[in-house]
């Protein structure tokens, strides 16, 4: 590694400090004041003196993954004193004091001991005193040492940029490496010397495995070993049913990093990871719904083709087995309908039967179309996006797809707009396509059957346009791609088939 590169790889300092920010909070859960009746011993009672604020409301907040939420509030009296108090315990984790104008002032820890006192002055927030909390003593001392080392590293980096000769640069690099080692030694000292402290727990959650050297196996370098080593040790000392994970600003980021860099995009690989995490997390009353809804939201509209299979797995193995009790009625209905809309159109499945009327009102069947590839486009002639995308499909068809013997089945899903549909076809010269629609009578017949058999449900047409690519046997081989991606897929697949 070059000297310049070494010095600029500034180490991440896990001091957990938050910058001041306006209105970072999205939710308030409780509101408390100074003169309240005594609470039960199992609750929380955090006294605070916060000068110079008087006769005003302040808050404590925390993280919910990458979001920030309010956890409690208190009214300060004319002596700047108040108390955050409730009969309910707070979930242990990283918390922060929030000003009346919603600026984050400083952070602190809450563990199982939730009765202590905070003394602070906004004119000197580097000297916050917390009485009666051993965890916050450890946290404060560690944070101070990390911030001191961080400041020194910043000075070294500044000096390196202005260094004029190689000798000075070498000295600065050595100083930088020494300080980086000191930082790591301090972290290790906490994790080994006080392993049961919350600070050690947080450091373990944040920690990534060091990249090992590439081993030589039977005379050959095993270049894959570092990747699998990091993947296998990424979650060392982390148990997924620990609710404290939600109350940190770095767990969700680490989770996203893991799925981005160390989990294959193949649905089955993702499912294996998701199943494990959710199964372990199920006994955690906060971490479980957090992970369940995070994965649900990510894979109900996935970034990559075929990953909706992950959402279906979550629905069938968790929601369908009772976890819809975590949802309100509207969300329960929405998730259930989306799941049933996806079941019949997964990659690799035979496409659902489709018998509809062509532009001359003659019945046609999808399975009667003979072609190595069938491109099915569901669209609405009143949809502005469709009016842009459908002609673009035709451009690819005329230039490339027709030469690959692709057939296009264009399905109008709006039987009320037959006139505008036919006009659009004519004006845009969509020749060579099979144009069809479902009649109102046929749609009503399907609805009366009371089963999820309408075209919209069978083909998951919750937005328009919706596209599918089928093979010669009408098996679904691609969906939910851009037109350019469909084109690349078709060209690459055809090239592989070519003799």
pLDDT in tens, 152-208: 998 998 888 888 888 888 889 999 999 989 988 998 999 999 999 999 999 999 999
- The confidence score (pLDDT) of residue 5 equals 34
Q: Are 377 and 397 in contact (CB under 8 A)?
A: no
Order the strands of the 104-110 sheet from edge to edge. 67-76, 56-64, 93-98, 104-110
Q: Is the Cβ–Cβ distance between 209 and 192 less than 8 Å? A: no
CA 59 to chain centroid? 27
Distance of CA 188 to the CA centre of its chain: 30
Q: Band the pLDDT of 9: cuts 50, 70, 90.
A: very low
CB atoms under 10 Å from CB of 482, counted, come to 11
- 292 Cβ neighbours under 8 A, 6+ residues apart: 278, 281, 314, 318, 323, 326
Are 82 and 76 a contacting pair, CB within 8 Å? Answer: yes
Q: What is the pLDDT of residue 236?
A: 93
Overall average pLDDT of the 463-471 stretch: 96
The yes-or-no verdict on residue 36 having pLDDT over 50 is no
Note the pLDDT of residue 16. Answer: 36
Instruction: Compute the distance between CA of residue 379 and CA of residue 411 in angstroms, rounded to an integer.
Output: 6
3-state DSSP: the chain helix, strand, coil percent, rounded to 5? 45, 20, 35
Q: How far apart are CA 137 and CA 337, in angstroms?
A: 51
**From the centroid of its chain, how far is CA 244?**
18
23, pLDDT greater than 80: no
> Distance between CA 398 and CA 86 in Å, rounded?
69
Instruction: Provide CB contacts within 8 A for 339, sequence distance 6+.
Output: 311, 312, 315, 316, 319, 320
Residue pointed to by tokens 């199982």: 112
Q: For domain 355-497, give its CATH number from 3.40.50.1820, 3.40.50.300, 3.40.30.10, 3.40.228.10.
A: 3.40.30.10
Query: What are the tens digits of pLDDT across the range 294-331?
Result: 999 999 999 999 999 999 999 999 999 888 778 888 88
Domain ranges of the chain: 1-190, 216-342, 355-497
- Band of pLDDT at residue 79, cut at 50, 70 and 90: very high
Q: In this model, does residue 78 exceed pLDDT 70?
A: yes
Other Cβ atoms closer than 10 A to 66: 13
| 499: confidence class by pLDDT, cuts 50, 70, 90 | low
pLDDT at 10: 27
Structure-token pair, residue 193: 């010397």
Give buried/exposed letters for 434-462 (b at 16+ CB in 10 A, else e): bbbbbeeebbeebeeeeeeebbbbbbbbe
pLDDT of residue 432: 94
CA 255 to chain CA mean position, Å: 8
Whether the CB-CB separation of 160 and 176 falls below 8 Å is answered with yes
pLDDT of residue 443: 85
The pLDDT value given to residue 400: 96
> For residues 484 and 305, what is the distance between their CA atoms, to the nearest angstrom?
14
Q: pTM for the full model?
A: 0.83
Residue with tokens 């629609």: 437
- φ, ψ dihedrals at 216, nearest 5°: -105, 120
Share of the chain above pLDDT 90, in %: 72
Which parts of 29-110 fold into alpha helices (H)? none
pLDDT at 450: 65
* Mean pLDDT taken over the chain: 88
| Across 100-114, 194-208, 446-460, least confident range | 446-460
Give the pLDDT of residue 32: 34
For helices 267-281 and 308-317, what crossing angle results, to 10°? 30
Question: pLDDT tens digits, residue range 372-417?
Answer: 999 999 999 999 999 999 999 999 999 999 999 999 999 999 999 9
Helix (H) or strand (E) holding 478: strand 476-479
């Amino acid at each position: 590694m070059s000297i310049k590169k070494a010095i600029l790889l500034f180490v991440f300092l896990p001091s957990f400090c938050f910058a001041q920010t306006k209105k970072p909070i999205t939710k308030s859960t409780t509101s408390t004041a100074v003169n309240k009746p005594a609470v039960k011993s199992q609750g929380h009672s955090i006294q605070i003196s916060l000068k110079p604020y008087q006769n005003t409301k302040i808050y404590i907040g925390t993280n919910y993954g990458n979001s920030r939420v309010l956890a409690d509030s208190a009214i300060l009296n004319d002596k700047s004193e108040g108390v955050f108090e409730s009969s309910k315990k707070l979930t242990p984790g990283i918390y922060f004091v929030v000003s009346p104008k919603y600026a984050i002032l400083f952070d602190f820890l809450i563990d199982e001991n939730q009765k202590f006192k905070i003394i602070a002055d906004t004119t000197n927030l580097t000297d916050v005193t917390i009485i009666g909390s051993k965890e916050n003593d450890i946290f404060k001392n560690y944070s101070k040492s990390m911030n001191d080392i961080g400041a020194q590293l910043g000075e070294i980096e500044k000096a390196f940029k202005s260094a004029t000769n190689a000798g000075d640069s070498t000295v600065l690099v050595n100083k930088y490496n020494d300080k980086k080692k000191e930082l790591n030694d301090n972290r290790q000292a906490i994790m080994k010397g006080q392993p049961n402290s919350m600070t050690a727990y947080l450091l373990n959650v944040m920690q990534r495995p060091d990249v090992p050297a590439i081993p030589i196996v039977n005379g050959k370098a095993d270049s894959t070993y570092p990747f699998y080593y990091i993947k296998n040790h990424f979650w060392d000392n982390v148990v997924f049913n620990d609710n404290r994970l939600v109350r940190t600003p770095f767990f969700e980021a680490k989770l996203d990093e893991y799925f981005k860099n160390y989990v294959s995009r193949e649905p089955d690989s993702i499912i294996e990871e998701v199943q494990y995490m959710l199964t372990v997390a199920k006994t955690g009353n906060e971490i479980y719904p957090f992970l369940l809804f995070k994965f649900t939201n990510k894979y109900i509209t996935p970034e990559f083709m075929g990953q909706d299979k992950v959402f279906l797995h979550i629905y069938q193995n968790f929601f369908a087995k009772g976890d819809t009790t975590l949802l309100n009625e509207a969300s329960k209905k929405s998730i259930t309908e989306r799941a049933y809309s996806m079941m019949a159109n997964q990659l690799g499945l035979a496409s659902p039967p489709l018998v509809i009327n062509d532009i001359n009102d003659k019945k046609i069947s999808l399975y009667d179309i003979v072609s190595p590839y069938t491109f099915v486009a569901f669209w609405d002639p009143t949809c502005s996006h469709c009016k842009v995308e459908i002609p673009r499909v035709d451009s690819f068809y005329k230039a490339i797809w027709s030469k690959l013997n692709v057939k296009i089945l264009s399905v109008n899903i709006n039987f009320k707009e037959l006139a505008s549909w036919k006009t659009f076809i004519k004006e845009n010269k969509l020749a060579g396509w099979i144009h069809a629609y479902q009649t109102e009578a046929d749609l009503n017949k399907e609805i009366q059957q009371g089963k999820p058999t309408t075209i919209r449900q069978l083909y998951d047409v919750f937005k328009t346009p919706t596209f599918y690519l089928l093979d010669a046997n009408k098996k679904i081989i691609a969906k939910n791609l851009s037109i350019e991606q469909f084109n690349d897929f078709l060209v690459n697949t055809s090239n592989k088939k070519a003799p």
